[in-house]
Amino acid sequence: MRILLVILGICALVGTAVAEKPPQDPVQYDRVECNFESIYGVNNWGEEPGPGTPNACDPGGGLPVWEWGIPVGIPAPPAPFGPNVWGTVLGGDYLNDAGEGFLSQPFLVTVGVNELAELVHYFDIETNYDGCNIVVVEEGGEETILIPIGGYPATISTSTGFYAWCVDMEEGWTDHVAAWTTDCADLTPWDGQTIQLRADFGSDNSVTYPGWYIAGYTVGSAEATPVDESTWGEIKDVFK
């Protein structure tokens, strides 16, 4: 009888925990492409992982998730990207209590040359409770969330009962898009500055999905500016 009561008690606790996390409505957002007039360079992680660095993004912790390779159960990214990508665990769903950023190499932003960045990515994430975004890190250490031209679909983890490492209460991508998509961001506010970009991902302590995968990105300008290809080496490793 005592064993039965213990089992029933555990089941009741589990039921309570699930009940405290209400389902979330799907979110919508505008996916805006850059429509470049000139291309400064295309970064493709398909063949090499590059020198980018997994990076802590929450002083409280968070489990590491970033891996490079061919993900399981995810369609191949569009040409010319792939087959390898950076993703939040390649062999299955991301972890509970995950929280890790991926930091690019430093690069100089110049309007008329590379003030637009277009990310090619795939995300399938627990709606609103887990999510991801891009952060601009300046040389002095100041951090600013980089808002895509089409905006982010939601503020992540607004519930006080659940904490999403790195991205809690921040704007970001979330929900089950489950398809490769592109999002353009404007780097004009950082004209003349050397910056780094950090891809932050975070989850709370329950419910996981396939996660976030980044195939690469293109940088360029809205201006029809001739580009000296010999200078591309200066920033070709951005976000690798």
What burial class does residue 121 get, using C-beta atoms within 10 Å of its C-beta: 0-12 exposed, 13-18 middle, 19+ buried? Answer: buried
Does 66 fall in a domain? yes
Exposure string of 74-94, with b = 16+ CB inside 10 Å and e = fewer, is beebeeebbebbbbbbbeebb
Does 3 fall in a domain? no
pLDDT, tens digit, for every residue of 33-62? Answer: 999 999 988 888 888 887 678 899 999 999
35: domain CATH number is: 2.60.120.200
pLDDT, tens digit, for every residue of 185-223? Answer: 999 999 999 999 999 999 999 999 999 999 988 889 999
Helix then strand then coil, in percent of the chain rounded to 5, is 10, 35, 55
pLDDT, tens digit, for every residue of 77-93? Answer: 999 999 999 999 999 99
- What is residue 78's DSSP assignment? P
Distance CA 235, CA 127 (A): 34
Does 160 fall in a domain? yes
Does 204 fall in a domain? yes
Does 5 fall in a domain? no
The pLDDT > 90 percentage for the chain reads 67
**In contact, 109 and 40? CB cutoff 8 Å:** no
Closest CA to 87 of 217, 214, 240: 214
User: Which structural domain range is residue 205 located in?
Assistant: 24-234
For residue 101, is pLDDT > 90?
A: yes
Does 29 fall in a domain? yes
Does 19 fall in a domain? no
Give Cα 103 distance to the centre of its chain.
Answer: 11
The pLDDT > 70 percentage for the chain reads 85
Q: How many CA atoms lie within 13 A of 75 on its CB side?
A: 12
Q: Which of 47-51, 107-111, 144-148 has the lowest mean pLDDT?
A: 47-51
Retrieve residue 163's tokens: 């904490």
Closest CA to 118 of 239, 218, 30: 218
Does 207 fall in a domain? yes
Average pLDDT over residues 216-236: 69
Closest CA to 51 of 59, 43, 39: 43
For residue 2, is pLDDT > 60?
A: no
Distance CA 141, CA 135 (A): 11
pLDDT of residue 168: 97
pLDDT, tens digit, for every residue of 110-142? Answer: 999 999 999 999 999 999 999 999 999 999 999
Distance CA 28, CA 165 (A): 23
Q: How many structural domains is the chain composed of?
A: 1
